[in-house]
């Protein structure tokens, strides 16, 4: 009888704790989502909204859903108190069921935000990026210049960043006054920032294995980077893990041929790349020249470095 009383007292404390944890999870979910909405609404410009959404939106919603998953575990562990009071065995069963429901919700949320949500988010980002800008000084609607037209307003360093696909610049112009607005976006491929000129134009040129790895000993590789703007050459030595050559050959792919051909009817080029890990990347280009240049520069390693 005393053991049963102690067990019932424990259940009362357990249920109260689960309720408080559930309420805490619910409050944290609301705080995460609402705080993001407030930050998004208070972002001053469309560019600021774009930067915030591209960097934080998916991560915020995923974290909120993980907290919801924890809340599901907590709320399930307050259910059927009469049944649970019959035997301590039932509390372990209920904990297991709660973990199953919470894990299921978390996994479904992961799949949604990993594979489905990038589509709607991309549409949202496109709208933010390409909505005509307003000149704050006179209220005129500004025009977005094409890739060929914008080069006249970009300095050589900016053009080098675009040629390296590490940065993409949009140039908006007020045709009535000639005032311009330049916005900077992430490019399709990764490039390091040059420590001499400060532009993101430092790209891997070649690799040289200084010491071959063995089954028991690491090897050594030297990577040589070159800035496509100022010509700066930077060398970096890294260790090669054992058996790295075989693993690298299996995990790395490079596009060797250009499937595009010159066709004046082409208006926009869309390239969709599917990785062996199930990840899909979609890239859009305004003209054939950009797409061909991208294919020449394309390497899976650069995509992985960027992500």
234-284 per-position pLDDT tens digit: 888 877 676 544 455 444 444 434 444 445 555 566 677 766 666 667 776
* pLDDT for res 250: 46
- Number of helices (H), then strands (E), belonging to the chain: the values are 11, 8
- Flag whether pLDDT at 303 surpasses 90: no
* pLDDT for res 255: 43
**Which pair of structure tokens corresponds to residue 195?**
């420590």
Show the domains of the chain with their CATH numbers: 2-126 (no CATH), 132-188 (no CATH), 191-250 (2.20.25), 252-307 (no CATH)
Classified as helix, coil or strand, 214 is coil
- Flag whether pLDDT at 154 surpasses 90: no
- Flag whether pLDDT at 306 surpasses 80: no
| Contact (Cβ atoms closer than 8 angstroms) between residue 76 and residue 69 | no
Task: Provide DSSP, 232-277.
Answer: -EEEEEEEE-TTHHHHHHHH-----S------TT---EEEEEE-TT
Mean pLDDT taken over the chain: 82
Task: Provide DSSP, 131-160.
Answer: SPPB-TTT-PBPEEPPHHHHGGGS-HHHHH
Read off the pTM: 0.66
| Contact (Cβ atoms closer than 8 angstroms) between residue 289 and residue 160 | no
* pLDDT for res 202: 76
Find where tokens 């790395």 sit.
252
Find the mean pLDDT for residues 205-226: 80
- Flag whether pLDDT at 186 surpasses 70: yes
Q: Which of 65-79, 187-201, 264-278 has the highest mean pLDDT?
A: 65-79
* pLDDT for res 246: 46
Residues 84-115 have pLDDT tens digits of 888 889 999 999 999 999 999 999 999 999 88
* pLDDT for res 30: 97
* pLDDT for res 260: 44
CA gap 144, 153 in Å, rounded: 12
Confidence tier at 156 by pLDDT (50, 70, 90): confident
**Which pair of structure tokens corresponds to residue 154?**
């970009």
Nearest to 295 by CA among 201, 203, 165: 165
Residues 27-60 have pLDDT tens digits of 999 999 999 999 999 998 999 999 999 999 999 9
């Amino acid at each position: 009888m005393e053991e049963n009383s102690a067990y019932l007292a424990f259940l009362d404390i357990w249920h109260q704790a689960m309720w408080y944890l559930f309420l805490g999870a619910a409050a944290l979910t609301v705080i995460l989502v609402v705080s993001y909405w407030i930050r998004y609404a208070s972002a001053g410009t469309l560019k600021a909204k774009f930067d915030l959404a591209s960097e934080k939106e998916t991560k915020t919603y995923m974290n909120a859903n993980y907290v919801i998953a924890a809340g599901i575990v907590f709320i399930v562990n307050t259910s059927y108190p009469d049944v649970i009071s019959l035997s301590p065995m039932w509390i372990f069963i209920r904990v297991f069921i709660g973990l199953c429901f919470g894990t299921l919700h978390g996994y479904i949320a992961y799949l949604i935000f990993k594979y489905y949500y990038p589509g709607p988010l991309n549409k949202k980002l496109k709208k933010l990026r390409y909505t005509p800008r307003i000149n704050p000084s006179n209220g005129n609607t500004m025009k977005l210049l094409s890739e060929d037209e914008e080069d006249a307003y970009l300095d050589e360093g900016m053009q080098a960043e675009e040629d390296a696909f590490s940065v993409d610049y949009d140039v908006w112009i007020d045709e009535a006054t000639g005032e311009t607005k330049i916005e900077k976006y992430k490019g399709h491929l990764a490039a390091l920032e040059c420590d001499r000129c400060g532009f993101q134009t430092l790209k891997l040129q070649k690799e040289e294995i200084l010491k071959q790895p063995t089954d028991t000993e690491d090897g050594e590789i030297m990577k040589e980077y070159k800035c496509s703007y100022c010509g700066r050459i930077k060398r970096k030595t890294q260790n090669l893990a054992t058996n790295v050559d075989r693993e690298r050959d299996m995990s790395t792919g490079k596009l060797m041929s250009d499937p595009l051909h010159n066709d004046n009817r082409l208006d926009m080029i869309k390239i969709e790349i599917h990785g062996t890990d199930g990840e899909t990347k979609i890239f859009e280009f305004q003209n054939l020249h950009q797409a061909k240049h991208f294919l020449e520069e394309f390497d899976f390693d650069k995509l992985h470095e960027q992500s």
